[in-house]
């Protein structure tokens, strides 16, 4: 039976934390043999290791700030969200933040700052960041708003606090949209799911700024649409090697090289796959497969975990995995509170 909505909400945020914590082991690795991934995952079942042994990184730290801000300042308060990012960074700067974004977070801490979007706009000589830091924390936007337009609008704005390049904020909107559709059960029809993502990104990438950014970076006119078309081609193939996925979609720290990849991981693992244990359910397969790609594994697994968690629900996540990861209980609590907010009549369309 399809999971109920509350289970999907909890699965989305817990899946996101799990991907971050479990994926952290291989972040930056070039080659990750599948047996090393499976060894890492079997160690999670060892009860003598202690609870919360795998720590979360910037991905979860910022996702928690987004959730807290949305819970207290709906529909969206950019100053509140910016203040939470800065405070969190100040409290725990060692969570593995990107080397560029820490300059933004330091500037956001200033009480004299008038425009909270300005520090992000000054990044990389005024071009703004195209990193995946906006996308990695985007899942809560899908849990906060019922309308697809609001999910896209506010996830882009939330990302712009640190990522002013359109590749950065459009990647965040794509990730939020994928979680939004997954919550509605859209992964039951995978082809329709990917087609919906493509048509929504076509609208977003028509924008003049997006066109100029793509040109400046020597990319095709509709960079996300073209990656999503590649996802669709790979979905149609009987067998796809890890090397092909990396060369076609990427596994890097840029949003363009990781958000479509995370979406592919979820789609590819809707069915059992060679090399992955038969006892694994879909969420376990998705996280294992994301790790085997190497590169930005914590973030790709975090984003794939959120989309897959929204599809399979909380009951699909092994207790031993949940126990091994720092911050799972807090993520579960945030998801429950976002669900309560989502059910309130004032947020009906
Ligand atoms: N930072 C990491 N991993 C590095 C190793 C961390 C290690 N574990 C440790 O503890 O030391 N992971 C985290 O960063 C990613 C999200 O990054 P975010 O928030 O997008 O940061 P930033 O700095 O804005 O962008 C990341 C890098 O991308 C390149 N870049 C971005 N825009 C650029 C532009 N316009 N021109 C040129 N380069 C650009 C830069 O190299 C940035 O530093 C996640 O993986 C998270 O897990
Ligand atoms: Mg990280
Ligand atoms: Mg990462």
Whether ligand 1 lies within 6 angstroms of the CB of 101 is answered as: yes
The closest alpha carbon to 164, from 125, 218, 202, 201, belongs to 125
Per-residue pLDDT of 189-211, as tens digits, reads 999 999 999 999 999 999 999 99
- 244, pLDDT greater than 90: yes
pLDDT at 215 over 80: yes
Minimal-distance CA residue to ligand 1 atom 18: 133
Ligand at minimal distance from the CA of 101 is: 1
Centre of ligand 2 to C-alpha 63, Å, is 11
Residues spanned by the domain of 114: 5-47+54-347
**Is 60 close to ligand 1, i.e. is its CB under 6 Å away?**
no
Ramachandran area for residue 185 (φ above 0: left; ψ -120 to 50: alpha; else beta): left
pLDDT (tens digit, 9 = 90+) per residue, 2-29? 889 999 999 999 999 999 999 999 999 9
pLDDT value of position 349: 44
**Whose C-alpha lies nearest to ligand 1, atom 29?**
131
Of the residues 26, 98, 165, which should be mutated to test ligand 1's pocket, given the most ligand atoms within 8 Å of the CB? 98
Ligand 3 being an ion, which residues bring their Cβ within 5 A of it? 296, 298-299
- pLDDT category at 49 given cuts 50, 70, 90 is confident
CA dist., res. 155 & res. 2, Å (int): 27
Say how far residue 196 (Cα) sits from the centre of its chain: 18
- Given pLDDT bands bounded at 50, 70 and 90, which one contains residue 50? confident
Q: pLDDT tier at 1 (50, 70, 90 boundaries)?
A: confident
Is 199 strand, coil or helix?
helix
327: left (phi over 0), alpha (psi -120 to 50) or beta: left
298 lines ligand 1 (CB under 6 A): yes
Give the residue, by CA position, lying nearest to ligand 1 atom 39: 129
Q: Domain containing 291 — which CATH number?
A: 1.10.4080.10
Task: For residue 244, report the distance from its CA to the centre of ligand 2, in Å.
Answer: 24
Confidence of residue 173 (pLDDT cuts 50, 70, 90): very high
Whether the CB of 20 sits within 6 Å of ligand 1: no
CB-ligand 1 contact for 25 (6 Å cutoff): no
Q: Is 166 in the pocket of ligand 1 (CB under 6 A)?
A: no
Over residues 242-254, mean pLDDT: 98
Task: State whether the beta carbon of 135 lies less than 6 angstroms from ligand 1.
Answer: no
What are the b/e assignments for 293-311, b being 16+ CB within 10 Å? Answer: bbbbbbbbbbbbbbbbbbb
Nearest CA, atom 28, ligand 1: 131
Confidence label for 250 from pLDDT (cuts 50, 70 and 90) = very high
Nearest to 207 by CA among 192, 225, 195: 225
Residue 122: Cβ within 10 Å count: 14
Among all ligands shown, which has an atom nearest to the Cα of 21? 2
**How many domains does the chain contain in total?**
1
From the CA of 57, which ligand is nearest?
2
Tens digits of residue pLDDT in 288-343: 999 999 999 999 999 999 999 999 999 999 999 999 999 999 999 999 999 999 99
Residues 32-53, mean pLDDT to the nearest whole number? 89
The reply to whether ligand 1 has any atom less than 6 angstroms from the CB of 299 is yes
For ligand 1, atom 25, name the residue with the nearest CA. Answer: 131
pLDDT exceeds 70 at position 158: yes
Mean pLDDT of all residues belonging to the chain? 96
**Ligand 1 binding pocket includes 252 (Cβ within 6 Å):** no
Residue to mutate (ligand 1; options 119, 168, 253, 305; most atoms within 8 A of CB) = 253
Protein residue with least CA distance to atom 14, ligand 1: 98
């Amino acid at each position: 039976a399809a999971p109920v909505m509350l289970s999907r909400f909890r699965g989305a945020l817990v899946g996101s934390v799990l991907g971050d914590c479990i994926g952290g082991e291989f972040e930056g690795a070039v080659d990750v043999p599948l047996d090393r991934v499976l060894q890492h995952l079997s160690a999670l079942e060892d009860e003598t290791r202690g609870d919360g042994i795998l720590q979360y990184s910037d991905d979860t730290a910022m996702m928690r700030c987004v959730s807290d801000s949305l819970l207290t300042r709906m529909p969206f308060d950019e100053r509140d969200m910016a203040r939470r990012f800065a405070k969190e960074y100040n409290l725990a700067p060692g969570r593995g933040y990107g080397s560029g974004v820490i300059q933004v977070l330091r500037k956001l801490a200033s009480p004299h700052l008038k425009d909270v979007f300005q520090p992000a706009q000054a990044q990389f000589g005024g071009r703004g960041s195209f990193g995946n830091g906006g996308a990695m924390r985007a899942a809560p936007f899908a849990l906060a708003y019922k309308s697809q337009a609001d999910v896209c609008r506010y996830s882009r704005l939330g990302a712009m606090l640190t990522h002013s390049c359109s590749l950065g904020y459009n990647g965040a909107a794509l990730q939020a949209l994928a979680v939004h559709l997954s919550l509605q059960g859209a992964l039951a029809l995978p082809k329709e799911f990917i087609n919906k993502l493509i048509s929504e990104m076509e609208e977003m990438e028509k924008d003049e700024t997006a066109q100029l950014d793509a040109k400046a970076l020597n990319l095709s006119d509709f960079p996300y649409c073209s990656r999503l078309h590649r996802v669709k081609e790979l979905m149609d193939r009987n067998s796809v090697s890890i090397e092909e996925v990396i060369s076609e979609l990427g596994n890097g720290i840029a949003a363009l090289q990781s958000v479509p990849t995370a979406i592919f991981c979820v789609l590819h693992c809707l069915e059992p796959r060679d090399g992955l244990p038969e006892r694994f359910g879909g969420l376990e397969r998705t996280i294992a497969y994301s790790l085997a790609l190497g590169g930005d594994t914590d973030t790709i697994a975090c984003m794939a975990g959120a989309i897959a968690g929204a599809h399979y629900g909380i009951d699909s996540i092994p207790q031993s995995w949940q126990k091994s990861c720092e911050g799972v209980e807090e993520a579960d609590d945030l998801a429950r509170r976002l669900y309560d907010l989502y059910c309130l009549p004032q947020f009906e369309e």
